[in-house]
Amino acid sequence: MKKNNSFDLTRRSFLKLSGGAAALAGLSLPKRADAATDQQLSTLIDLSLCDGCENLKVPACVTACKTINKGKIPPVVENIPEPWPRKTIEDWSKKKEVFNRLTPYNFIYVHKAQIDGKTIFVPRRCMHCDNPACATICPFSANHKEKNGAVVIEQTQCFGGAKCKDVCPWEIPQRQSGVGIYLHVLPGFMGNGVMYKCDLCNERLKEGKLPGCIEACPRKAMLIGPRREIEKIAQQRASAMNGFIYGKTENGGTSTLYVSPVSFEQINKTMQKKPGQPDMKPDVVRRMAATDPLGQAVLAAPALGVIAAGALNWLARRKDQVKKEGEDNG
pLDDT digits (tens, 9 = 90+) for 257-281: 999 999 999 999 999 889 999 999 9
How many Cβ atoms are within 10 Å of 225's Cβ, its own excluded? 26
How many Cβ atoms are within 10 Å of 136's Cβ, its own excluded? 16
118-159 per-position pLDDT tens digit: 999 999 999 999 999 999 999 999 999 999 999 999 999 999
13-27 per-position pLDDT tens digit: 333 333 333 444 666
Domain extent at residue 18 = 2-329
Q: Which residues of the chain have pLDDT under 50?
A: 1-24, 30-37, 290-291, 294, 296-303
How confident is the model at residue 6, as a pLDDT?
Answer: 33
pTM: 0.81
CB 213 within 8 A of CB 64: yes
Query: For residue 169, which of 40, 286, 9, 71 has the smallest C-alpha distance?
Result: 286
Residue 94: CB partners within 8 Å, gap ≥ 6? none
How confident is the model at residue 230, as a pLDDT?
Answer: 97
How confident is the model at residue 165, as a pLDDT?
Answer: 96
Identity at 89, one-letter amino acid code:
I
The enclosing domain of 41 has a CATH number of 3.30.70.20
How many folded domains does the chain comprise? 1
Distance separating alpha carbons of residues 37 and 18, to the nearest angstrom: 17
The DSSP annotation for 196-232 comes to: E---TTHHHHHTTPPPHHHHH-TT--EEEEEHHHHHH
Distances (CA, A) of 78 to 10, 97, 179, 180, 194: 51, 20, 10, 14, 16
